[in-house]
A and B are shown apart, each in its own frame.
Chain A
Amino acid sequence: MNTFTLKVIACNRVFYEGPCEILIYPAFDGQMAIMANHESITSCIDVGEIHFRTPDGVNHVAIVSDGLIKVDNNKADVFVYSAEKPEEIDKFRAEAALERAKDQLRQKQSIMEYNVSSASLARAMARLRGIEKFDIH
């Protein structure tokens, strides 16, 4: 299978850099897949999980926060604030964050605070979904 170069960059590390056969990421209107020789595109990534298959046939999963993707010249760059493998996620921390976000959303807030809280709620939910789905803990 043809491959392309994938680079997943989080704000605290380079999560993955190397060849990849297919990349699936959450866009705002559903999931999108990128394969080798995709046309040039720039797009947003939503909070959720990305899947990618490396040439050795292994499927990788990463829980990501929002960010952006750029495909050009058979090369895909993914920029996200955070990218974690499901087994790296701290379940208790995610649960605590979920509770906190829910609490905050129940209170009266300005629009700005509402945006912050709902974004953290989405991240916490994505993390917990990742854990449940891949049944790590």
Chain B
Amino acid sequence: MANAREIQNRIKSIKDTMKITKAMYMMSSMKLRKARQKREDTAPFFYGLQEQITSILCHFPDMQHLYFDNREKDKREKIKKKGYIVVTGDKGMAGAYNHNVIKEAVKQVENADDLHMYVVGEVGRHYFRSQGYPLDESFLFSANNPSIHRARVITERIVDLYKREELDEVYIVYTRMINSMREEVTFEQLLPLKTHEFIKQEMIKSAGVGMYADGELEHADDWFLIYPSPKRVLERIVYNYITGYMYGALVESSASEENCRMIAMQAATNNAESMLRELSIQYNRIRQAAITQEITEVIGGAKALRKKKKKKAMALSAMQK
């Protein structure tokens, strides 16, 4: 059994750690609030844009374009150069958050022949570097505090690579926050845009909750003007869409990260509290035992002394007799 001083030291160090976890809890809850606000603010833009691109594609299903998956070159080439954007956190201490994203990314990357990784966040970068994945070292973006500017720069880079045909397909792995208790790692294809995917979505939507009026599908063939030209509008729309998507992914990820961290820190604080409770009981017991022992020793000593005295006195009286 440890002695009292050791336990006291332990209690002190746990208390210090608890201070840190508590502070981190407060910080992440604040950041979470901000991230959630951002997420809500951007939702109309994000989903509205998605709807727009859907309706354009729905009206022009036969359009062939650099950004669509029905390119001639796609049918020709067998090996695709795949780019993966992985959104992780900048630091750990967020429960399984980073682990989950990395696991999903590794799983997706497994069957790619020619791959390039673009990792946001220090934790993921470190992992993929140490495991020897082909990581783009100049792709340095922090996951903390997402901004539209960062999303724009990332988009510009990725679309540029795509246009120069250094990448044929671009995927993204990020974490979506479903509610405050649940996150989900999401894997999505960014480029080329899947035409039939969009159209399917449109069908489901119009059949369902009434985002579209009844008979929307019948109107799908209605002619409408795209000014100045479909090509030009698409060019712009794709940038907008991918930037919007990137921004949405960054915001979702950062909200999930802070949420995970908050939960992890809450758990750590709780653990520390229960440990402290146990240790303080142990400490009290040991202290009590030490006191008892001391008292017994004192009493024993006193008794022995008294006995000795008695013996002496007895011996003395016997001598006098």
Contacts and interface: CB of A to CB of B under 8 A. Distances in A.
Interface stretch (B11-19, B128-136, B235-243): B235-243
B42 A43 contact: no
Interface residues of A, number: 29
A40 B243 CA distance: 26
B224 A40 contact: yes
B38 A12 contact: yes
B134 to A, nearest CB: 20
Interface string A49-86: 00000000000000000111010100001010110000
B56 interface: yes
B48 A9 contact: yes
A119 B148 CA distance: 13
B48 A11 contact: no
B222 A43 contact: no
Contacts of A11: 41-42, 45-46, 148, 244, 247
A12 B37 CA distance: 9
Contacts of B232: 28, 44
Given A42-B225, A68-B52, A79-B49, A111 B240 contact: no
Nearest to B235: A44
A124 B148 CA distance: 15
B135 to A, nearest CB: 19
B225 A115 contact: no
Interface stretch (B27-35, B149-157, B177-185, B289-297): B149-157
B147 to A, nearest CB: 10
B45 A79 contact: yes
Interface of B: 38, 41-42, 44-46, 48-49, 52, 55-56, 148, 152-153, 156-157, 160, 222-228, 232-233, 236-237, 240, 243-244, 247
